[in-house]
Amino acid sequence: CGFQLRGAPPVSSALQPLAVDCADNVPGQLCDAVREQLELGRIELKPAEEADFVLRIGKFRQERRASAITLRAAAAEYTLRHTVNIEVLTADNIPLIEPADLNTSETYRYDESNVLAKQREEEALREQLHDRLAQQIIFRLAPIDEDRIERLRQEAEQARNEETEPSS
């Protein structure tokens, strides 16, 4: 039915050397998970100054909301929701994808008579959410291949020439 074993890595090798630039408020775990998955996909990571491309991860937000309550208005269920914004640019600041907000969420049963245990469970869930969000970020890099980079570079070149043309 058309399925074959995967033959190509998730992220095109054209997108290297790549720098992963995480803003201060992005948890280290999320940033490391992205780096790890990129390295597994054989993408060479370099610090920002030496890289040709930059993956910028920022505006991290984590929300915890009661999604169900007991009769005494205590939370019966919490939903965790992590959101992050990503941008991919070339070293000379040509955007390769539309900046995108990614989010992932998970729900867990809460019990106000077992607060510490639920705190442990929440911490474990947050790690899973970091891994899932890292995977979503990798998915967003997939469409960037050699000819898209070339096409966007030319478009930017053209735009820059048009800008400088009329007044010269």
Partner 1 sequence: QSSPSAAEIDWRPKSELPEEVRRSLPDFCEGGYLPSVVPSIAPTGANAEAVADSRQAPLRASGLNARYEIDNELYLRGDVRLQQAGFRVTGSEARYNQAAGSVAIEGPLTSRGEGFLLTGERANYDVNSGRVDINTATFLLHGPEMRGSAGQLSRTAEDQVQIRQGSLTTCAPDSNDWAIVASDIQLDQGEGVGTAKHVRLEISDIPVFYWPYASFPIDDRRKTGFLYPSFGTSNTGSGAFLSVPYYLNLAPHYDATLTPQYIHGRGLFTEAEGRYLSSLGESVLQVGYAGNDSEFEREFPGEDGERWGLDFSTRAAFGGGWNGYGDYSVVSDDDYLSDLNRTLQINRATHLLRRGGVRYRDSSQYFETYLSGYQTISDFIADENIPYSQLPEVIYGAAFDAGPAELSLESQYTYFYRDNADLTGLDRANGQRVRAIPEVALPVRALWGYARPSISVDYTRYELEDYNLREPGFDRTVPVAEWDSGLYFDRQSSLFDIPYNQTLEPRLYYAWADADADQTFIPDFDTTIRSFSFDQLFQRNRFSGGDRVGDTNQLTVALTSRFNDLLTGAERVRFSIGQVHYYDDREVTLAGQGGSDASDSPLAGEMILRPVDGLEIRTAGLWEPDTQKTEEGRSQLIFHSPDYRYLASVGHSYRRNEFEQSDIGGVVPVTDRVSLIGRWVYDSQLDRTVGSLAGLEYNNCCWSVQLVHQNYLTDDQELESRMLFQIQLKGLGGSGGSSDEISEAIYGFDERERRRFGGR
Question: Does the protein bind partner 1 through residue 166 (CB under 8 A)?
Answer: no
Question: Does the protein bind partner 1 through residue 152 (CB under 8 A)?
Answer: no
The region, left, alpha or beta by phi > 0 then psi within -120 to 50, assigned to residue 122 is alpha
At closest approach, how far in Å is the CB of 63 from partner 1? 8
Element (H, E) at 59: strand 53-69
Q: Report the sign of the C-alpha dihedral through residues 88, 145, 37, 51, in that order.
A: negative
Residues 15 and 96: their CA atoms lie apart, in Å, by 10
Q: Please select the residue that binds partner 1; options are 17, 21, 52, 108, rule is CB under 8 A.
A: 108
Six-digit token string for 2: 């058309």
Of 36 and 157, CB closest to partner 1: 36
Q: Please select the residue that binds partner 1; options are 49, 50, 73, 161, rule is CB under 8 A.
A: 73
Question: Does the protein bind partner 1 through residue 168 (CB under 8 A)?
Answer: no
Of 62 and 107, CB closest to partner 1: 107
Residues 16 and 64: their CA atoms lie apart, in Å, by 36
Omega before 17 within 30 of 0, i.e. cis: yes
Q: Please select the residue that binds partner 1; options are 13, 23, 44, 65, rule is CB under 8 A.
A: 65
Residues 43 and 138: their CA atoms lie apart, in Å, by 11
At closest approach, how far in Å is the CB of 110 from partner 1? 8
Interface residues with partner 1 (CB under 8 A) are: 1-9, 24, 28-29, 32, 35, 40, 65-69, 71-77, 79, 97-98, 100, 103, 105-109, 111-121, 124-125, 128, 136, 139-143
